[in-house]
Amino acid sequence: MGKKKILVCLTGGIALYKAALVVRGLLKAGFELEIAMTKDAQKFVTPLTFSSLIKKKVHTDEEWFKSDEVLHIKLADWSDAIIVIPATANILTKMAVGLTDNLVSASILASQATKYVIPAMNQKMLTAPATQRNFQRLKADGVQFLSPVKGLLAEGYSGDGRLPEPPEIISWLIDRLETENKKDLVGKKVLVSAGSTVEPLDPVRYLSNNSTGKMGFAIAKIAQQRGAEVTLVAGPNQLALPNRVNYQPIKTARQMEQKMLEFYQQADFVIMAAAVADFRPAKTAEQKIKKQELDQLTLRLVRNPDILAELGRKKQKQLLVGFAAETQELLHNATQKMQQKKVDLLVANDVSRHDIGFGTSQNEVVFLQPDVAPELLSKRSKEKIADKIFDLLMDLNRQRRK
Ligand SMILES: Cc1cc2nc3c(=O)[nH]c(=O)nc-3n(C[C@H](O)[C@H](O)[C@H](O)COP(=O)(O)O)c2cc1C
């Protein structure tokens, strides 16, 4: 794999001088950089400082409208990651609403790469409700922040809002940039359930639900990409099988239960993304039920095993993740489920919305963990949600070992 390409966006804060050392650190670590500066940033430090460091031209608004190419799209497409340092209150606001009135803000909006933002500003600007709202919004969009620290501010008094020192910034960035193509699940066994179960009424009819398996398949795919040994237990589906997973197709909830238990003991991370039918017909007719014989048909249903609760009860070393598909009172119902089923992480989503959840390729979820405030992850691909699930599991795993 070639060097990771990073667009460094510099905005007009007093701490901009520290960004020169960060740029030097990133170059030393082997990253390929392009730099874009706002007009106001250039009032604090000249582009010459940065162009001398990276040995190429620094991009500015002047070049933007003179370029033969659409420069903000070119930079956005080129970059594997974007760093904003020091991030002003101004650029945070622009990012939060998607404003594109200069090269820096337009490139950021146009890019789908991960954004690493390192803000610095006076404490009064930092604690302003608007800035805090911007943080919340951007975090929900997946932006990664290195928080400002307390210390002497440019205004001559102590407070919150200082840019951390360059060595701390460099190691935070390198840590994250290098794990973006991470193989951190090597040696881990991941067990995933996906899709719906089908509960036969007779040889041709069944009870089921709308789950297509996309979320569980995305989880299996990401786990495999990050190096895990993956077992995927899935109900009937129309999806392409992810590479190199141990695929265990099933039909009924009871078959799923059996397969999950078979692979449970060896697993490190277990993710129940399947929508298991709660009930099944008490009897499955051996022959097709004929309508001529009946005016009415009353079905008697019996409870299926609660696989997630069973896995919760049998938990030893495993970290267990459950999903809650709710149509109302999402947080309340999901919190109850988390507690009752003894899961370490519950991923809740609102399946009454048509743009997310069942059958779509995107989802918006809330993560619930015992004793941790709920965390919203705004709408994004199911792969990105899967990636975040494993980040959280790896964090939990590290905390356990402490
Ligand atoms: C001396 C001085 C220092 C400033 N320091 C900061 C700062 O640390 N953080 C910040 O958010 N804004 C700071 N500002 C305000 C920004 O420079 C101003 O909002 C500017 O419009 C930001 O533009 P940009 O985000 O396009 O670079 C400062 C302004 C001046 C004049």
Residues of the chain with CATH 3.40.50.10300: 189-397
| Predicted confidence band of residue 179 (pLDDT cuts 50, 70, 90) | low
Question: Is it the case that residue 172 has pLDDT exceeding 90?
Answer: no
**Index of the ligand 1 atom closest to the CA of residue 40:** 27
pLDDT band at 36; cut points 50, 70, 90: very high
Q: What distance in Å separates the CA atoms of residue 25 and residue 22, rounded to the nearest whole number?
A: 5
* 47-56, 62-71, 348-357: least confidently modelled range: 348-357
Residue-wise pLDDT tens digits, 350-388? 877 777 666 677 888 999 999 888 999 988 888 889 999
Average pLDDT over residues 278-286: 94
Question: What is the CATH code of the structural domain delimited by 189-397?
Answer: 3.40.50.10300
What pLDDT is stored for residue 89 in this prediction? 98
- Given a cut of 80, whether residue 182 has pLDDT beyond it is no
Number of H helices, E strands in the chain: 15, 19
Looking at residue 1, its pLDDT comes to 46
- The predicted-structure confidence for 214-259, as pLDDT tens digits, reads as follows 999 999 989 988 889 999 999 999 998 887 899 999 999 999 999 9
Kindly provide the residue ranges of all beta strands, DSSP E only, lying in 266-318, ordered along the sequence. Answer: 269-272, 279-281, 301-303
C-alpha 157/C-alpha 390 separation (Å) is 41
Output the average pLDDT for the chain: 92
Q: Is the pLDDT of residue 264 over 50?
A: yes
For residue 24, report the distance from its CA to the centre of ligand 1, in Å: 23
Residue whose tokens read 């009924």: 252
Q: Which residue has the higher pLDDT, 48 or 171?
A: 48
Give the C-alpha separation, 79 to 260, whole Å: 41
Please name which of 349, 378, 379 lies closest in space to residue 136, comparing C-alpha atoms: 378
Instruction: Find out whether 220 and 192 touch, Cβ atoms under 8 Å.
Output: yes
Pocket test for ligand 1, best of 10, 14, 45, 132 (most atoms within 8 A of CB): 14
Residue whose CB lies within 8 A of the most ligand 1 atoms, among 88, 93, 109, for a mutation test? 88
CA 167–ligand 1 middle distance (angstroms): 23
Q: DSSP secondary-structure letter at 275? A: B
Ligand 1: which atom is nearest the Cα of residue 15? 8
Tell me which residue has its CA closest to atom 22 in ligand 1. Answer: 12
Kindly list the protein residues whose Cβ atom lies closer than 6 A to any atom of ligand 1: 11-15, 38, 40-41, 88-91, 120-121, 125
Choose the catalytic residue: 102, 122, 134, 209: 209
Query: pLDDT at residue 393 above 60?
Result: yes
The pLDDT of residue 153 is above 90: no
Per-residue pLDDT tens over the stretch 183-219: 889 999 999 999 999 999 999 999 999 899 999 999 9
**CATH 3.40.50.1950 residue window(s) in the chain:** 5-179
Confirm whether 209 is a catalytic residue.
yes
Ligand 1 atom at minimal distance to the Cα of residue 161: 8
Binding-site positions for CTP:
278, 288, 305-308, 323, 337, 341
Closest atom, ligand 1, to C-alpha of 10: 27
Of residues 316 and 295, the one with the higher pLDDT is: 316
Please state whether beta strands 319-326 and 269-272 pair in parallel, antiparallel, or not at all (unpaired).
Answer: parallel
Write out pLDDT tens, residues 126-143: 999 999 999 999 988 889
> Ligand 1: which of 40, 45, 58 to mutate, most ligand atoms within 8 Å of CB?
40
CATH code of domain 5-179: 3.40.50.1950
- End-to-end CA distance of the chain: give it in Å, rounded: 33
The mean pLDDT of 249-273, rounded to a whole number, is 98
pLDDT at 240: 81
